[in-house]
Amino acid sequence: MVKVQEIISQVMAEKGYRHKYEVAEYFGVTPQALSTWLTTGRIPSKHLLKVRTEIQRPDLLPTIDPTKEDKQTVINYFINENVHLKNEIVKLKDKIQNLQSTKNKNDLIDKINARSLFIAGRLSDGVITEVSGDWEKSMGYGETDLVGHRYDEDFIHPDEFERTKRHQDNIQQSTAVKETRFSTVQRWKNGQTGDYIMLSMIWYVDVKKDMVEIIAKPIDNNFGGIGILN
């Protein structure tokens, strides 16, 4: 049977204590209680359990048969530990679920952004000044095929061009419209195949700055293989 003095000495060695009152503070008891343990040769079970779990002394057993109160203390300790672990598991599951949900949302946004095309130009003469997005993959045009060119240089289907030109003239001639935003669908020619592709477009026009910005996305039967209809 391990003596009380031996247990106290090991606690002092493991924790680097130099005085017994520090051991009393470790157990959460008064120095007088610690002296009583030394006198009676008995450490209450709940304090032995602390040493067994924190200082890795599984060989420590109660110095005498535990009382009913001691047994209940140990039972309550393990119940509380079990509840704590269950709560931690629930929290971890929630975190994992939130991370997966965020990842799925980010993946969807990435897919949307990956298929979006941006084009900007001047309202006054229709010259394209900036593009971004994978125009070459989606529409068969490199950046130099678009930037510096007018939008009416055989990019747009003739029917769409007439409507676009008419809309452009109306905006320029209006004295009330300073800026406008609208959505439309246009057919643009693929630069490599010559086929016309439907583009869903959102236009933003700033008359004062002579600027047009367009976000476009090719229309097909599904969206990036994820089953979202356009």
Q: What is the pLDDT of residues 103-137, one digit of tens each?
A: 555 565 555 566 789 999 998 898 999 998 889 99
Identify whether residues 213 and 117 lie together within a single domain.
yes
Token code pair at residue 164: 């676009």
Per-residue pLDDT at 207 exceeds 80? yes
Averaged pLDDT, 139-147: 93
Q: pLDDT confidence of 230, banded at 50, 70, 90? A: very low
Identify whether residues 121 and 46 lie together within a single domain.
no
Identify whether residues 57 and 136 lie together within a single domain.
no
CA distances from 71 to 65, 121, 191, 222 (A): 10, 81, 83, 66
Residue 89, domain member (yes or no): no
The total number of structural domains in the chain stands at: 2
Q: What would you report as the CA-atom Rg of the chain, rounded to the nearest whole angstrom?
A: 38
Identify whether residues 32 and 117 lie together within a single domain.
no
Identify whether residues 56 and 120 lie together within a single domain.
no
Per-residue pLDDT at 188 exceeds 60? yes
Per-residue pLDDT at 190 exceeds 90? yes
Residue 104, domain member (yes or no): no
Question: Which of 13, 47, 70 is a domain's end point?
Answer: 70
Q: Which helix (H) or strand (E) holds 139?
A: helix 135-139
- pLDDT of res. 25: 92
Q: pLDDT confidence of 182, banded at 50, 70, 90? A: confident
Q: Which helix (H) or strand (E) holds 141?
A: none
Q: pLDDT confidence of 164, banded at 50, 70, 90? A: confident
Residues in the chain: 230
- pLDDT of res. 70: 62
Per-residue pLDDT at 63 exceeds 50? no
pLDDT: is 206 or 163 the higher one?
Answer: 206
Domain coverage including residue 159: 113-218
Averaged pLDDT, 35-52: 83
